Amino acid sequence: MSATQSRGERTRETITAAAQELLIEHGYAGTTMRAVAERAGVSLGNAYYYFDSKDALVQSFYERLQHRHAELTRVAIADEADFTTRLHTTLIGWLDLATELHPFLRSFFRVASDPDSPLSPFSSDSTPAREQAYDLYRDVADNTDLKLAARLSERLPELLWLVHMGVVLFWVHDSTPDQQRTRTLVDRLAPLLTKLLRLTRLPGVRQLSNEVIDLIDAVRR
């Protein structure tokens, strides 16, 4: 990496970090590009050079959060072969990492839940963060004691990400201290999901799992 590229990456990271601070403090509606530029110590034009809109900044924030989650999770599960433990560690790790973001994400949910918003986790704009999540869940499932049919194994990262999104949705609406209900959900969900996945090795259940995958493929077209 050249000195210019390195300086550019540092500036981009500084702007993203400033945006995260302001989003937490003032929410999505209360955060402006001008305020982000001032917090980052760069000109407004420079901020727009790296991010052409506030939405692009939020996407960078998504990716930053996902990258950090993946980084911490891979270290935490490196020596663990039990799938249930790896899945539980991954989901709880996200909750731990996102704790301070709960007020912001709770207020931001209206924006992200709009299916037409580029900030929806299902949008094409969110593809980089989503692909990072798929890669992480592929690592979570690989080299474990969980043995599945080839087709389900191939699609498992996406299915686990959908489970993750369900947990996040529950967490966003969880008003208990430290979102304890969500943590209880994860404690019970991880072993239950492992049992359900193991059942797919039975012939009749395997066919059912194939039908579920067919259904997901059909509605995505």
Residue 2 has pLDDT above 60, yes or no: no
Residue 104 is given by DSSP the state H
| Nearest-angstrom CA–CA distance, 142 and 12 | 33
Ranges of H-type helices in the chain: 3-26, 33-40, 44-50, 54-76, 83-98, 102-112, 127-141, 150-172, 180-199, 203-220
Residue 216 has pLDDT above 80, yes or no: no
Residue 32 has pLDDT above 70, yes or no: yes
pLDDT attached to residue 60 = 86
Indicate the pTM of the whole model. 0.86
pLDDT attached to residue 1 = 47
For the residues 162-177, what does the mean pLDDT come to?
95
For the residues 98-108, what does the mean pLDDT come to?
86
For the residues 155-167, what does the mean pLDDT come to?
93
Whether the Cβ atoms of residue 152 and residue 213 lie closer than 8 Å to each other: yes
Closest of 164, 157, 141, 162 to residue 82, by C-alpha:
141
Residue 13 has pLDDT above 50, yes or no: yes
Residue 43 pLDDT grade (very low, low, confident, very high; cuts 50, 70, 90): very high
For the residues 92-111, what does the mean pLDDT come to?
89
For the residues 150-164, what does the mean pLDDT come to?
90
71-88: b (≥16 Cβ within 10 Å) or e: ebbeeebeeeeebbbbbb
Cα–chain center distance at 124: 15
| Nearest-angstrom CA–CA distance, 146 and 164 | 18
Specify the residue for token string 């960078």: 60
For the residues 182-193, what does the mean pLDDT come to?
97
Specify the residue for token string 């980089």: 128
| Nearest-angstrom CA–CA distance, 95 and 167 | 9
Domains and CATH numbers, the chain: 1-52 (1.10.10.60), 60-220 (1.10.357.10)
Residue 152 pLDDT grade (very low, low, confident, very high; cuts 50, 70, 90): confident
pLDDT attached to residue 114 = 84
Radius of gyration of the chain (CA): 19
pLDDT attached to residue 220 = 63
pLDDT attached to residue 4 = 53
How many residues comprise the chain?
221
Whether the Cβ atoms of residue 90 and residue 136 lie closer than 8 Å to each other: yes
| Nearest-angstrom CA–CA distance, 180 and 174 | 8
| Nearest-angstrom CA–CA distance, 80 and 77 | 5
Average pLDDT taken over every residue of the chain: 89
